[in-house]
Amino acid sequence: MTEPLLAVTGLRKAFGGVAAVDDVSFSVAAGEIVALIGPNGAGKSTCFNLINGQLAPDAGSVRLGGTAIGGAAPRAIARLGVGRTFQVAATFASMTVRENVQLALLAHAGAQHQIGRRATTALAAEADALLEQVRMARFADQGCATLAYGDAKRVELALALANAPRLLLMDEPTAGMSPNSRNRMMQLAADLARQTRVAVLFTEHDMDVVFGHADRVIVLDRGRIIAEGPPAAIRNEPRVRAVYLGDDEA
Amino acid sequence: MTLASLLAQLLNGLAGASSLFLVAAGLTLIFGVSRVVNFAHGSLYMLGAYVAWTSVAWFGRGPVGFWGGVLLATLVVAAIGALVESLLLRRIYAAPELLQLAATFGVVLIVRDLTLATWGAEDLLGPRAAGFAGVVDLFGRATPTYELLLIVVGPLVLAGLWWLLVRTRFGVQIRAATENRALVGALGINEARLFTQVFALGAGLAGLAGALQLPREPANLGMDLAIIAEAFVVTVVGGLGSITGAFLAALLIGLVKALCVVVGTVEFGGFAIAFPKLTLVAEFVVMAIVLAVRPYGLLGQPAVIPATTPVAEFRALIRPPGRRSLAAALALAAVAALLPFTGDEYRLILATDILVLAVFAASLQFLMGGGGMASFGHAAYFGLGAYGAALAFKHGAPMAFALAAAPAAALVGAVIFGWFCVRLSGVYLAMLTLAFAQIVWSIAFQWDAVTGGSNGLVGIWPAPLLADKRDYFWFVLTLAGAALAAIAWLAQTPLGYALRGSRDSALRAEALGIDVRRTQWMAFAIAGTFAGLAGGLHVFSKGSLSPETLAIPRSVDALVMVLLGGLNAIAGPLLGAAAFTLLQDGLARATDYWRAVLGAAILLIVLLAPMGIGGALQRLFARGAR
């Protein structure tokens, strides 16, 4: 069997003596969509930050396609093909939607420090194609700061995709959206991932989104994995119901 | 060097450390609670010295006059601090950091001129401290008892502050506000009153420090900026927000300076290095080492990087300039080229100044507007350029080479300083840039043999071909026009967008593979280079230069120009430079106190028109177009 695209082994990170992530191991294969769920403070975001380099692990390894990336800088990990969206959408507020994507494409091409051409005319067709993919083409000339919350999340997805990622990390991609948009957003991400065989790891509080779109679910509680499996199994796992779904009868 | 002289210098260094600590502690307290770095803190220190002097003048040199004066200075300055907080700062807590800093800079200018108007320009010699006028024999040396007293004051104030913060209800409130500002209101603490009280406390400490300094140094108008630059170094080294850190850093720097004096002049292979003159450079070295190892100072906490910029101003959409802008720029240049034919030489000199300053302002705007990095010491690069060109010229280089040396010298400086600066952000960065500028200034001021010291250098005139004022104007118009066009172009390139992206969201930029620090470092180098070019053009237009060329007021000038013109308006630097030059020219002829008027103008911009002239015009045009 070949090595999975993302392999996390024995990952650990403590803040002031409290282990936010404790001996966590899991893997994600190319084209697979995996949900990371758990109550607030379970360690989901810390896990993400360890994988994309915003935090350095205290112990354990993170491997992407066989390369150890644990502790590398976010920009280095990004260049290896990890795209990321944030819990609070992070876009470039002073630029238009198209310019956001153009800058992302320039960075992907390693051209972010060029001074011989205009940024606004660079890779415009590619940028528009990406915006078409995330259904944001009609907002291309609008400023990013004035977008509705859900639209900003879509732009973020386009930014992450501009990097032609092998692994896509999405931190609560549908938070703050209406139930309808949630499903549309997640369906969009899932379709794109399956088409391009990108591995997706996402966190989410909405269980309909999780059970509707994930191939596999990993449940974290207090920094440890307490369950892992296909959605149907996780839904009925007593420990998960007890800890996470707050089901006292289980 | 003897052991006795070493000890004597150490005592001297420790005595100096005490007053520095008092100022830095106040700065850090105020920052902790209000998140405002008070550039006017040095002005409060200066006021303390002047108030104490007045007390002695009124009540005599006895204990009542002196120690009463120390008490009076503490109270008066605390009251002034409370007044400044409630009248001004309270209105700008929600404003962008940059504007807060600029506003307190405005206060510096106003206080300076008020002091000048009240006490005059002469240095005022202070009395010996009553009861501590004598000396004691320590290790075979006569040591002033006052020095010993000062050495005790630092730890005493530290202990007092510690007691206040840990043992009193007021202290608990201060710590709560420092840890989590949102919590304060929720806990039912009167936020407005707490802020005013803390500001008064910090100001009182500065007043106390100034008054205590009076027996060691005459009260003078340069005290404000001299101490603030040092206090910034101490605060940055100690860690912003940490009082104990400030204490340790003040001690460390006091000791290093003392050691420099003790080492004296040393010969290295024919070069005589006078260490006593290098005390400020020594501070820089200490700061550089500490920051390289611990970017947030000895006891400081790293700042949390926000996901997106919280600065409202930076969330506004920036449109690239269109054809109309280009046409307007070309038309303006054509009109300007006709100016020499009017035959008015004074107008020509003003126009040359405006062009040079526009390049200077544009370089700062590139860094501040596009990069979100507030340089409060941009004059360093202007000055490095000016001195670079002047020194090359003095050593026989033809004008063309001398002028090329200007951007080159500034580039070297910007690359070195920028390396440190981009490791910090926000107010830390602003403080560090100011500290660097102060160091460059002190080198220019103290290194007589090379820079001519306070007299500067004279006789730097353009080549015969450009000797005529009209020819030099055309020359400057061409170069400045090209430089302004180049800076405007850079903002439109991928580099310019990567820089602005790093400003908008460092988190997102890094996640896309953009090296934020490297991008900002490049911006620093570019901004420094263009500022240096402006400095070179400046020195050849004036024929001479002095340390004033790179003193802090010139950095303030650049800031004012950028704020006047608008942080992100394309025509901002030119508009700002023109408005500033004409305003200054008019004011300087009308009043001796034009700096106070300038300070008031800064306050008005911050309070009423944070977008600047250029921003307001742009909004007007946008409305018209719609």
Nearest chain B Cα distance for residue A214, angstroms: 24
pLDDT higher for B64 or B348?
Answer: B348
**pLDDT digits over B520-544, tens only?**
999 999 999 999 999 999 999 988 8
Q: Which of A96, A115, A116 sits opposite B317 (nearest CB)?
A: A96
Say if residue B306's pLDDT is above 50: no
Q: What is the pLDDT of residue A249?
A: 43
Phi-psi map region of A33: left, alpha, beta (phi>0 left; psi -120 to 50 alpha): beta
Q: Which of A78, A93, A114 sits opposite B314 (nearest CB)?
A: A93
CATH number of B311-625: 1.10.3470
Q: Is A93 an interface residue toward B (CB < 8 Å)? A: yes
Phi, psi of B406 (to 5 degrees): -60, -60
Q: Which of A91, A119, A144 sits opposite B494 (nearest CB)?
A: A119
Q: What is the residue-wise DSSP string for B474-535?
A: HHHHHHHHHHHHHHHHHHHSHHHHHHHHHHH-HHHHHHTT--HHHHHHHHHHHHHHHHHHHH
**pLDDT digits over B380-395, tens only?**
999 999 999 999 988 8
Flag if A117 and B493 touch (Cβ within 8 Å): yes
Q: What is the pLDDT of residue B420?
A: 85
Please state, for a pLDDT cut of 70, what percent of chain B lies above it.
Answer: 92
Radius of gyration of chain B (CA): 25
Q: What is the pLDDT of residue B308?
A: 40
Mean pLDDT of B292-317: 64
Tell me which chain A residues have a C-beta less than 8 angstroms from the C-beta of B492. Answer: 118-120
Is B66 within 8 Å of B53 (Cβ atoms)?
no
Burial of B449 (0-12, 13-18, 19+ CB in 10 A): exposed
Flag if B508 and A86 touch (Cβ within 8 Å): yes
Flag if B504 and A84 touch (Cβ within 8 Å): no
Flag if B498 and A107 touch (Cβ within 8 Å): yes
Rounded to 5°, the CA angle A213-A76-A42 comes to 45
User: Band of the pLDDT at B318, cuts 50, 70, 90?
Assistant: confident
Q: What is the residue-wise DSSP string for chain A?
A: -PPPSEEEEEEEEEETTEEEEEEEEEEE-TT-EEEEE-STTSSHHHHHHHHTTSS--SEEEEEETTEE-TT--HHHHHHTTEEEE-SS----TTSBHHHHHHHHHHHHTT-TT--SS-STTTTHHHHHHHHHHTT-GGGTTSBGGGS-HHHHHHHHHHHHHHT--SEEEEESTTTTS-HHHHHHHHHHHHHHHHHHT-EEEEE-S-HHHHHHH-SEEEEEETTEEEEEE-HHHHHH-HHHHHHTS--TT-
User: Band of the pLDDT at B309, cuts 50, 70, 90?
Assistant: very low
Q: Is A163 an interface residue toward B (CB < 8 Å)? A: yes
Q: Which of B490, B496, B513 sits opposite A78 (nearest CB)?
A: B513
User: Band of the pLDDT at B626, cuts 50, 70, 90?
Assistant: very low
Say if residue B118's pLDDT is above 90: yes
Distance set, CA B464 to CA B6, B81, B476 (Å):
55, 55, 15
Say if residue B273's pLDDT is above 70: no
Distance set, CA B293 to CA A21, B373, B420, B427 (Å):
28, 22, 11, 19
Flag if A103 and B513 touch (Cβ within 8 Å): no
**pLDDT digits over A1-33, tens only?**
467 888 888 888 888 878 888 888 888 988 889
Flag if B513 and A83 touch (Cβ within 8 Å): no
Flag if B317 and A95 touch (Cβ within 8 Å): yes
For chain A, give the number of residues.
Answer: 250
* Strand partners of residue A202: A35, A170
Q: What is the pLDDT of residue B539?
A: 93
Token readout for B120 is 């005059």
Q: Is A116 an interface residue toward B (CB < 8 Å)? A: yes
Burial of A181 (0-12, 13-18, 19+ CB in 10 A): middle
**pLDDT digits over A177-220, tens only?**
888 888 888 888 888 888 888 999 999 888 888 888 888 999 88
Burial of B164 (0-12, 13-18, 19+ CB in 10 A): middle
**pLDDT digits over B344-354, tens only?**
888 888 999 99
pTM for the whole structure: 0.84
Say if residue B42's pLDDT is above 90: yes
Instruction: Provide ipTM, 2 decimals.
Output: 0.90
Flag if A119 and B512 touch (Cβ within 8 Å): no
Tell me which chain A residues have a C-beta less than 8 angstroms from the C-beta of B489. Answer: 115
Tell me which chain A residues have a C-beta less than 8 angstroms from the C-beta of B310. Answer: none
For chain B, give the number of residues.
Answer: 626
Give CA–CA dist B63/B61, Å, rounded.
7
Nearest chain B Cα distance for residue A145, angstroms: 6
**Which helix (H) or strand (E) covers residue B142, if one does?**
strand B141-144
Flag if B507 and A93 touch (Cβ within 8 Å): no
User: Band of the pLDDT at B268, cuts 50, 70, 90?
Assistant: low
Kindly give, in sequence order, each residue whose CB lies less than 8 Å from that of residue B312, ignoring residues fewer than 6 positions away.
B96
Say if residue B311's pLDDT is above 80: no
**pLDDT digits over A37-53, tens only?**
888 888 888 888 889 88
Q: What is the pLDDT of residue A248?
A: 47
**pLDDT digits over A111-168, tens only?**
889 898 888 888 988 999 999 988 888 998 888 888 888 888 889 999 999 988 999 9
Tell me which chain B residues have a C-beta less than 8 angstroms from the C-beta of A55. Answer: none
**pLDDT digits over B143-191, tens only?**
788 888 888 888 899 999 999 888 888 888 888 877 776 777 777 778 8
Best residue of B314, B493, B568 to probe chain A, by most A CBs closer than 10 Å: B493
Nearest chain A Cα distance for residue B431, angstroms: 26
Q: What is the pLDDT of residue B193?
A: 86
On the CB side of B386, CA atoms within 13 Å amount to: 33
Chosen CATH of B3-125+140-260 out of 3.10.20, 1.10.3470, 1.20.1070, 2.60.40: 1.10.3470
Flag if B497 and A99 touch (Cβ within 8 Å): yes
CA-nearest residue of chain B to A162?
B512
Tell me which chain B residues have a C-beta less than 8 angstroms from the C-beta of A163. Answer: 512-513
Whether B3-125+140-260 shares its CATH topology with B311-625 is answered: yes
User: Band of the pLDDT at B465, cuts 50, 70, 90?
Assistant: confident
Q: Which value, to the nearest 10 degrees, does the dihedral of the CA atoms of residues B267, B268, B274, B277 take? A: -170
**pLDDT digits over A214-239, tens only?**
889 998 888 888 888 888 888 887 77
Tell me which chain A residues have a C-beta less than 8 angstroms from the C-beta of B495. Answer: 112-115
Best residue of B318, B497, B520, B529 to probe chain A, by most A CBs closer than 10 Å: B497
Flag if B496 and A119 touch (Cβ within 8 Å): yes
Say if residue B489's pLDDT is above 60: yes
Which candidate, B568, B592, B566, B593, places its Cα nearest to that of B579? B566
Say if residue B6's pLDDT is above 90: no
Q: What is the pLDDT of residue B119?
A: 92
User: Band of the pLDDT at B304, cuts 50, 70, 90?
Assistant: very low
Range name among A94-103, B188-197, B279-288 with the lowest pLDDT average: B279-288
The residues spanned by each domain of chain B are 3-125+140-260, 311-625
Give CA–CA dist B379/B548, Å, rounded.
10
**pLDDT digits over B198-255, tens only?**
999 999 999 999 999 998 889 999 888 888 888 888 888 888 778 889 999 999 988 8
Say if residue B343's pLDDT is above 70: yes
Say if residue B482's pLDDT is above 90: yes
Residue numbers of B between 97 and 156 with CB closer than 8 Å to A: none
User: Band of the pLDDT at B594, cuts 50, 70, 90?
Assistant: confident
| DSSP reduced 3-state for B137 | strand
- What strands lie across the sheet with A59-64, from one edge to the other? A18-28, A6-15, A59-64, A67-68
Flag if A115 and B318 touch (Cβ within 8 Å): no
